[in-house]
Structure 1
Amino acid sequence: MKPFLTHDECMGCKACGDICPVGAISFPVDEEGFWQMTIDEEKCIDCHRCEMVCPVKNYPESRTETNRSEPLVYKTWHKDPAVRYNSTSGGMYYAAAEAFLERGGVLVGSVYTEKFERAVHVAVKDREGLQRVMRSKYFQSDTEGIYKVVRDLLKKGEKVLFCGAPCQSAALHKFIGAKDANLYTMDFVCRGINSPLAYSSYMEELKAKYRSELKEVRFKDKSRGWTNLGTRVFFQNGKEYYRNRFNDPWVNGFIAGNLYMRPACFQCAFKKLPRVSDMSIGDFWGLNFTQEESSQGVSLVFSNNEKGDWLLDISRPRMFVEQRTLEEALQGNPAILHSAVYSETRKQFFALLRTVGFSEAVWRTMGSTARERWLKEKKHKINAFLSRFSILYRIKTMIKGGVR
């Protein structure tokens, strides 16, 4: 059979490859670094299982029937400061995953490979594994083979908590089928999936600059506060790279430029309610935060059905939990319902990437937009300084008033 999706429709979830009984489907990488489905027509037996499992071609309607059109919305954060600091948002995933492990479950999520060259989905059964699946990877994780792994775990009677992008969760539900009491799914508020080629180009550039292999990569690093997220990379030679959200080329190219997202993300089929997973998590942007919340992070939680309720219930002893409204969640998180806007400069970026390297390609492509973000950074620093000065002045005034 012929491919049933166009290049710009395929999400790269790879469920079709896992379902194929004769191994007729492969995923060569295109010029932008994304996996693209290819069908070997000589091997293909025209069973159409690949088409039936595709979440883009056949949206998992069973999730629409079981999941809430208006999810229960919560503001949450982990009570353990260390866990919260080391989590991307407020620590909701860690709390649910740890509680799930304590009940004998298996976690399936994205981890970096040994040298931080790629991200892949794996199954883990202990806290050491939980540490690996924590944190945002910020580029597409390879899920080839993981659907069969989950299916086999479920056949053995294991409870499985899968976490991934909405398209990956939808693909798993199509692969497994509508009813499996032991499967729990969690997705995240996804703005778009970035190119593994862009990521590897960035890391190769940094390795050359710092003359060392990678030791750890932290996107959305909180060392300077959750509302001032940055990118931090640790190297084997002890050196360290840090840039904030205004001057890091990766954040600029992704958030401000939309330069290296997968084409299908600009017309995402999963930007809607009901959500496709049992629970959805993300940053609860848009609220008025305390200083401590701004520094440490706050999780947004959508409980989409009874399984989502259970995941929240087993997490409660570890979490601060406060129910909020759907309107508040949508106001601060447009990516829940809206796809990113296609960038006409994407082709320029990828053409430059091959000749001048990642950072230079970002800055040249973004041009005046990059300068605008640089000015925002300066304004942010000035406002932060003035805020500290104002607080200090008020404290001194209060002290003087008390002395009198």
Structure 2
Amino acid sequence: IIFCDLICNGVPSNRLLEIDIKNNIKDIKRIVSFRDKVDGWEQCLAFTYVNKDNNIVRLRGEVSFFLRAFRVNYALRNCCYNCSYCKMERAADFTIGDFWGGDLSDEDKKNGVSLIICHNKKAQNILFNISTIEYKKIDWNECLPNNPRIYCGRRFIQWIIPRKILKIIWKCNYKVQEQVLTDSLGVISKKRFYWIGLKIWRIVILKIEQIYRKAKLLSILKSM
């Protein structure tokens, strides 16, 4: 038996998809891909579906409500904000996920590069004997800084919009849901000055999260 676990950012609430279908993609018949990477791996994601006329429709990331809300991370499952599986000590043979950061070529940035972590000799033997995989050995200093979900399962971002407030937002109209859940509040507009408080609060929370992750990363690297 070979065990493999994942580097996971978190699972978004299915309510995001329900909101999108109800307000934007009413002609949907079948979902093809939540994150279509045809145009590129890093920033050119698209929500792809088949409409009722059996045509394939691609909503780019900057247009799709679901993808915009997914990127902001306000509406993940509760357990994803304090995931006990995001740690260096793992029970699996392999850990796999997207490789972010590092010295990548433009082609690699477009096509994507995977990260494979071998936790024992058995995993190393399996990987090194697969001739169809092109791989490059890297150290922890290259893969950990831009992949915090390898070692840190705690997210402070959940406090930007607490659960009780989120329950109220689920009941609001689409305009409010879109502005808040996709973080597209226009604080520059005179009519929306009241959102400035939330924007400042977001900056503070993300800074705290960044400091916490950095401290945890330094502690891990020093212990190696």
| Deviation readout 1:290-326 (Å, 9 max, x if unpaired) | 1211111100110112342244235x32111110011
Partner of 2:4: 186
Identity over aligned pairs, percent: 20
Query: Residue type matched to 1:313 in 2?
Result: F
Aligned 8 A contact 1:192 1:340 in 2: no
For the residues of structure 2 that align with 1:343 and 1:251, how far apart are their CA atoms? Answer: 21
Query: Residue type matched to 1:363 in 2?
Result: Q
Query: Residue type matched to 2:40 in 1?
Result: G
Equivalent runs, 1:132-151 vs 2, <5 Å: none
For the residues of structure 1 that align with 2:21 and 2:137, how far apart are their CA atoms? Answer: 40
Query: Residue type matched to 1:352 in 2?
Result: I
Equivalent runs, 1:32-71 vs 2, <5 Å: none
User: Structure 2-normalised TM-score?
Assistant: 0.69
| Structure 1 residue 284, shift from structure 2 partner | 1.1
Give the one of 89, 93, 109 matched to 1:278.
93
Residue segments in structure 1 that go unaligned for 5+ positions in a row: 1-182, 372-404
For the residues of structure 1 that align with 2:29 and 2:119, how far apart are their CA atoms? Answer: 42
User: Structure 1-normalised TM-score?
Assistant: 0.41
Query: Residue type matched to 1:317 in 2?
Result: S
Aligned-partner SS, 2:39: coil
Partner of 2:168: 351
- Closer, same or farther in 2 for the Cα pair 1:354/1:297, shift >3 Å? same
Aligned-partner SS, 1:323: coil
For the residues of structure 2 that align with 1:235 and 1:276, how far apart are their CA atoms? Answer: 39
RMSD value, Cα: 2.7
Equivalent runs, 1:1-400 vs 2, <5 Å: 183-208=1-26, 211-219=27-35, 221-236=36-51, 237=53, 238-244=55-61, 246-256=62-72, 258-314=73-129, 316-338=130-152, 339-341=154-156, 342-347=158-163, 348-357=165-174, 361-365=177-181, 366-368=183-185
Number of residue pairs matched?
182
- Closer, same or farther in 2 for the Cα pair 1:186/1:369, shift >3 Å? farther
The structure whose Rg is larger is 1
Runs of 4+ aligned residues of structure 1 deviating over 6 Å after TM superposition are: none
Residue segments in structure 2 that go unaligned for 5+ positions in a row: 189-224
Aligned 8 A contact 2:3 2:93 in 1: yes
Query: Residue type matched to 1:212 in 2?
Result: I
